[in-house]
Amino acid sequence: MYQLPGPPPQPLRGWQQCQRRRLSLVMMMVLLATLVTATDAMGCPQKCSCQQRTVRCVKQQLDKIPEMPLDTNIVDLRYNHIREVPTDAFAGLSHLHTVFLNENQLRRIEPGAFRGLPGLKYLYLNKNRIVEVAPSAFDSLDRLQSLYLHFNNITTFEKGTFSNMAALERLFLYGNQIRRIPEGAFAGLPALKRLRLDDNPLECDCSLLWFRRVLHEARQTLLATSSCATPEQLVGKSLADLGEDDFHCTKPEIVSEPRDIEISNGQTAVFTCKAHGDPRPEIVWMLDAGEIHSDDTRINVLPDGSLRIDEVTAADAGMYECRARNNMGQVQSRPARMVVSNEVIETEAEAPKFIQTPPAEVELKVGAALVLHCVVSGAPTPSILWKFNNQNIQNGRIKLFGNGSLILPVATLDDGGVYSCYAGNAIGNVSVNATVQVNGEFLGGSFAE
């Protein structure tokens, strides 16, 4: 009699279990892929496309930097309308190694704009409208290899802005409006191989002699391009090819030395020190052979190099000297003694008399500092009044000091006119005028007195 087959053999059950496991594994992989895709889609900025950790937002009329996935490696923001890179703009994007911000409308790079990007290697900021770069804009970018800032409107930058980036190999600053380069501007760049400063209106005067020396010393390892826009005889010539004689530098020469002072407690003392030289000499002051590094707000070195000490005390007595120095050398003045009396020094009545007056005519450029001195003797001590175009000057933009000095830190075209110093006491009065002309574009690093 025929019998129906019984249950399948035991091994068949094992095969079914294996199939179920495979099916579960496939479903888990599909679910995981779906979750990852959903996460990426949620993190991708609007108007942008995101693929393989690259965020592309090209020509999307963006006016600010969007938020993006934390695992982003490359962000491409070219051809937008972004106007600023605020502090910590890319905070948290520790995997980011390339940023394209060229072809936007940036005007300034803020301090710490790229903070928190330890892996950043390539930064494109070219073809914007950048005028100013904050000194700390590129701090802590230890792995940055290429920095592109060409074709902007940068006119100047501070020492340290492009320093201390150990991995930087390429720095492009060509096609800007840079006239002067601060000494030591590119210190701490041991890996630098390519530096482009061509197509800038560089003034090849003594202030750039240091840079010529740097280029000459690094000529075996650094390919640098730069050319002169002034003076006329050097137009178009490569800075690296110039000889030191082409700069016509001169050592400092002191033309007005400090004089001995006898003064009473509480009065204001002023020591004068004027020096010529190219580059313009730096003036430092010595007290009893030691350089003055005082945080005392009573003690100030004025823009013209003079030393002013307010509310003099017996501790200020001693021998004062000034030292003028530039990269061609230094020179020191004769010592001048200051004697401080605890009593008011009695003198006979005397009409006011000028000891130092401002020049009759002063010409300076927009943005430069104006310094005028009106030093008067007399007994009783004369009072001093300053006027501008016959109107009394009050302390504000223009700083007036008890010793008769007038300082305007930043001159504008409207500051041109006649400055008058009036001094008077019970015996008489005197006055003197200085006609100031403010014109032209400020080239930086100058002052008038």
Do the beta carbons of residue 176 and residue 152 sit within 8 Å?
A: yes
Residue span(s) of the chain under CATH 3.80.10.10 come to: 41-200
pTM more than 0.95: no
Q: Residues, the chain, total?
A: 449
Helix, strand or coil, per DSSP, at residue 352: strand
Report the CATH number of the 41-200 domain. Answer: 3.80.10.10
CATH class of 251-341: mainly beta
Residue span(s) of the chain under CATH 2.60.40.10 come to: 251-341, 350-448
Q: Which amino acid is at 344?
A: V
Q: What's the CA gap between 426 and 3, in Å, rounded? A: 145
CATH of 350-448, one of 3.30.70.1450, 2.60.40.10, 1.10.3720.10, 3.30.342.10: 2.60.40.10
Which two tokens mark 165? 């980036």
Do the beta carbons of residue 369 and residue 303 sit within 8 Å?
A: yes
Q: What's the CA gap between 302 and 130, in Å, rounded? A: 33
* pLDDT tens series, the chain, 449 aa: 445 455 555 554 554 555 666 655 545 554 444 434 433 444 899 999 999 999 999 999 999 999 999 999 999 999 999 999 999 999 999 999 999 999 999 999 999 999 999 999 999 999 999 999 999 999 989 999 999 999 999 998 999 999 989 999 999 999 999 999 998 999 999 999 999 999 999 999 888 999 999 999 999 999 999 999 999 999 999 999 999 889 888 899 999 899 998 888 888 888 999 899 888 899 999 999 889 887 788 898 887 788 989 889 999 999 999 999 988 899 999 999 999 987 655 557 788 888 888 999 999 888 888 999 898 888 888 889 999 999 998 878 898 887 788 999 888 999 999 999 999 888 889 999 999 999 875 434 333 33
Among 211, 197, 196, 201, smallest CA distance to 231 is for: 201
276 DSSP β-pair partners? 253
